[in-house]
Amino acid sequence: MAGGTERILRGRIKAMQSTKKITRAMELIAGSRIVKAQQRVQAAVPYSEQITEVVKDLAAAGASNDVPMLAGRDEVKTTCYVAITADRGLCGGYNAGVQRATEGEVKADVLAGKDYTIVPVGKKAEGYFRFRDYQLSQSFMGFSDQPSYEDARRIGEYVVDLFVTGKVDKVELVYTRFITAGNQEVVLRPLVPLSADTVAGGDGKAGSSDGSGGDYEFEPDPTEILDSLLPRYVEARIYAALLNAAASEHAFRQRAMKSATDNAEELIGSLSIVMNRARQASITSEIMEIVGGAAALDGGDATQGYVDMGDDYFGRRLDEAEKASSGSTA
């Protein structure tokens, strides 16, 4: 019985050692990818800032009155939520945070009597909301850990078309913003229509004579420029959200895999102690059987011979147990 228990424990220890190697490797990979993802986030900032300034200048020139993407609806009846999650699991509560935030907004809309639709980005979002029978639009997946601008362009074209055609009255992004390697937060950001605060403050109004702003001339008409530029602006914002989400995913996965590695080490130590106790119990049982059999035999010489044999066997097995214990501890 004890021998069978020892074999089972030895198998569990071997399995946990293999698991520990996998989780440790995943932790190191995620740690190396965090740096690259963070660099991509920072590299995208200048473009986002510059296109925002251009949009402000065009809006200040009087182009914001006739552009559909800047004119909000009088009544918001349908909201589109772009939920950005990962394509894979093993990243702690990363996916669950975005899913809960989106679900909370949807439930609030339903209670208010409003309609909604969800654009899932990532396999985890698509599977979660489809399993729960939420209203879904087109899904986008397969690029969560390394998004490209082309991925953002496809998402941007789709959500802009939803808004322009009147299928939705508002589009919002739900994603995890990367702050530091140890700090990320789930945020809800309006995407379309652009808010008044976004396009306010531009210095592109022509004919300013106080010197505080620029004297710009736009060719072609500012409205036409802004109408073609706003989809690029939406794509830039989606791309920035995808990059933040990718960096956050790697940070969550690194922490999750470190915790899994630590737990595997702790479990290996606990199982080793239990296995050594089972091995010592097996040795003690064998020694007691030998001594008991020797004592049951008649004849002094024969009894003494079996006792000596039992003493020798006891000494050998005790040495083996001590070596095994010292080897497991090391």
Q: Which residues are catalytic?
A: 91
Looking only at Cα atoms, what is the longest distance across the chain? 125
Q: How far apart are CA 247 and CA 144, in angstroms?
A: 10
* Contact call for residues 171 and 152 (beta carbons, < 8 A): no
Are the beta carbons of 199 and 59 closer than 8 angstroms?
A: yes
Q: At what angle do helices 222-296 and 149-164 cross, to 10 degrees?
A: 120
The tokens of 239 are what? 């791309």
d(CA 53, CA 201): 9
Q: What is the DSSP string of 260-287?
A: HHHHHHHHHHHHHHHHHHHHHHHHHHHH
3-state secondary structure of 308: helix
CA within 13 Å, CB half, 137:
20
Collect contacts of 135-140 with beta carbons under 8 A, ≥24 apart.
137/80, 137/162
Q: Is it true that the peptide bond before 220 is cis, omega within 30 degrees of 0?
A: yes
